[in-house]
């Protein structure tokens, strides 16, 4: 079943007296439980698309459905409900509140939903433990490594139990070891929770952790293919070197399977 359906979407921005077409009549579907990577160079339209998928922007033309909901017909409050409950967001720059601890940052979406403090704390700690960062719950973002901060951001996205996670260059500010750890975490969330994941990336190595790649150029889809040699990271565990879950030695923790199937 398609979780997302995009039909003939265009997005035109006004620039002085002329319009700039960021998206040009694109169409595709994402099935429930997929892990999709959207790739393309800067200015190709991938971030514009992600904003539309996240209900942060509306297309100039075309339709966008989440399940059976026509997003264009939803009112402001209904869009906020989608963003707050159905969709979780992960950003390149983490977007953590610097004066709040890791646990308090994860609690923020629950606060907006009116959940009481005791339940918020319990739910926040559960997802922090799930992503391997529970032991750093009382630390401020400035006291955490980049990989740890991104794990907190992933926990914040998970705490509302979303159907979909949208990740905008989630490894863009991380070193290669931390990047593999975050990709391994996404794979586990996708497999164990069944959460659909769509990530925007310019790095073909990161796209190999997903099951499908959609390639963009100049606002158009130029390729939409399954990942034939998918990279898996197994047995994600805590790494005492930097306090994030990284798994085994990088040379031993990865496995490659053909046609997107795990071996």
Asked if residue 51 belongs to a domain, the reply is yes
In a domain, 242, yes or no: yes
The verdict on residue 19 lying in a domain is no
Residue 20 resides in a domain: no
Residue 247 pLDDT exceeds 50? no
Structural domain span for residue 155: 2-10+33-258
Q: What does the pLDDT look like over 39-88, one tens digit per residue?
A: 999 889 999 999 999 999 999 999 999 999 999 889 988 998 888 889 99
**Structural domain includes residue 240:** yes
Q: Considering its fold, how many domains does the chain have in total?
A: 1
Confirm if 44 and 218 have CB atoms less than 8 A apart.
Answer: yes
Read off the pLDDT of residues 218-232 as tens digits, 9 standing for 90 and up: 999 999 999 999 999
> Is residue 239 in a domain?
yes
CATH number, domain with residue 175 = 3.40.50.300
pLDDT of residue 172: 94
Name the average pLDDT for the chain: 89
Q: Pick the closest to residue 248 from 263, 231, 227, 234 (CA basis).
A: 234
pLDDT digit string, tens, across residues 117-131: 999 999 999 999 999
Position 50 in a domain: yes
Output the pLDDT for position 133: 96
Is 24 inside a domain boundary? no
Burial bucket for residue 127 (CB in 10 Å: 0-12, 13-18, 19+): buried
- CA–CA separation, 82 and 76 (whole Å): 10
pLDDT of residue 225: 97
Distance between CA 182 and CA 145 in Å, rounded?
Answer: 13
């Amino acid at each position: 079943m398609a979780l997302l359906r995009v039909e003939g979407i265009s997005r035109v921005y006004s620039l002085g007296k002329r319009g700039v077409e960021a998206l040009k009549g694109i169409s595709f579907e994402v099935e429930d439980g997929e892990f999709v990577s959207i790739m393309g160079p800067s200015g190709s339209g991938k971030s514009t698309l992600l904003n539309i998928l996240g209900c942060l922007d509306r297309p100039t033309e075309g339709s966008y459905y989440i399940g059976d909901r026509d997003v264009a017909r939803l009112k402001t409050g209904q869009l906020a409900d989608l963003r707050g409950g159905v969709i979780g967001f992960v950003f390149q720059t983490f977007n953590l509140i610097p004066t709040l601890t890791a646990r308090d940052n994860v609690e923020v979406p629950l606060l907006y939903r009116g959940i009481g403090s005791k339940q918020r704390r319990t739910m926040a700690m559960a997802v922090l433990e799930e992503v391997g960062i529970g032991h750093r719950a009382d630390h401020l973002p400035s006291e955490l490594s980049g990989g740890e901060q991104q794990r907190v951001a992933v926990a914040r996205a998970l705490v509302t139990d979303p159907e979909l996670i949208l990740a905008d260059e989630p490894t863009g500010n991380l070193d290669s070891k931390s990047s593999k750890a975050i990709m391994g975490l996404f794979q586990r969330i996708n497999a164990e929770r069944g959460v659909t994941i769509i990530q925007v990336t310019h790095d073909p190595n990161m796209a190999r952790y997903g099951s499908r790649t959609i390639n963009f150029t100049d606002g158009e889809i130029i390729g939409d293919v399954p990942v034939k040699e998918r990279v898996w990271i197994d047995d994600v565990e805590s790494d005492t070197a930097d306090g994030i879950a990284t798994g085994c030695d990088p040379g031993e923790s990865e496995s490659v399977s053909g046609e997107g199937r795990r071996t």
